[in-house]
Structure 1
Amino acid sequence: MTVDEFATSLTAGAPPEGLPPALLGLWHAGRGEWTKAHEIVQDDDGRDAAWVHAWLHRDEGDTWNAGYWYRRAGRPHHSGALNEEWREIAEGLLGCPLKLLGLRIS
């Protein structure tokens, strides 16, 4: 699945089948379903879920808590636009080859 396909799926009634918890949480976050997204990622101890968890706390304005989750994810604290970081996370979790090469996808 590409990042664009993932983003387009946000308008569907249900998430794509078989998403791992971090992507499922990101999907719900992309739909504005903060509580559902948080419930999903807080129950996963992985670094990917921690990255989404950090984004969620940054979204709610809790920068201290976001910082904790960025450290758990092994990621730098992001300070750019939330929608840009959402896409960056999606690219990273979907394993986008261009992202691995350090190229941006618009």
Structure 2
Amino acid sequence: MSDFRASLSDAAPAPGLEPPLAALWWAAKGQWDEAHKIVQDEDTASAAWVHAYLHRVEGDLGNAGYWYRQAGQPVANDSLEAEWERIVSALLGSGKA
């Protein structure tokens, strides 16, 4: 997690970073459109989870709910920052981002 956070000072995510993590990287930089573009066409549960998070950031809770269901994840009700950290930790820990 600390290496991922440290990479946020870079101009772009690390090459080869899995799409869901790259999207979370862009989201942390305030680049919602770039993050959304990355996950919107990915067909994995991890990408769907990030997609849900992004729509929650956007304030579109109905759309977020759809993507949480696609991801097989409960709808988050904690802070956006806590959710971001939870998803990053899960994806880094699983090796299946």
Q: TM-score, normalised by structure 2?
A: 0.93
Q: How many residues align?
A: 94
1:42 corresponding residue in structure 2:
40
User: Secondary structure of the equivalent of 1:18?
Assistant: coil
Provide the C-alpha distance between the structure 1 equivalents of 2:63 and 2:12, rounded to a whole number of angstroms.
29
Runs of at least 5 residues in structure 1 that lack an aligned partner in the other structure: 97-106
Q: Give every structure 1 segment of 4 or more consecutive aligned residues whose post-TM-superposition deviation is greater than 2 Å.
A: none
Which amino acid is 1:57 matched to?
Answer: H
Which of these residues, 13, 23, 26, is aligned with residue 25 of structure 1? 23
Q: Aligned partners of 1:94 and 1:17: how far apart in 2?
A: 15
Residue aligning to 2:72: 74
Q: Summarize deviations over 1:34-60 as a string: whole Å, max 9, x none.
A: 000000000101000000000000001
Name stretches of at least 5 consecutive residues in structure 2 with no aligned partner.
Answer: none
TM-score (norm 1): 0.86
Shift of 1:13: 1.1
**Deviation, structure 1 residue 75:** 0.3
Distance 1:75 1:19 in 2: 22
Identity of aligned residues (%): 53
Letter of the 1:40 partner, please give it.
Answer: I
Q: CA RMSD in A?
A: 0.9
Q: CA deviation at 1:11?
A: 1.2
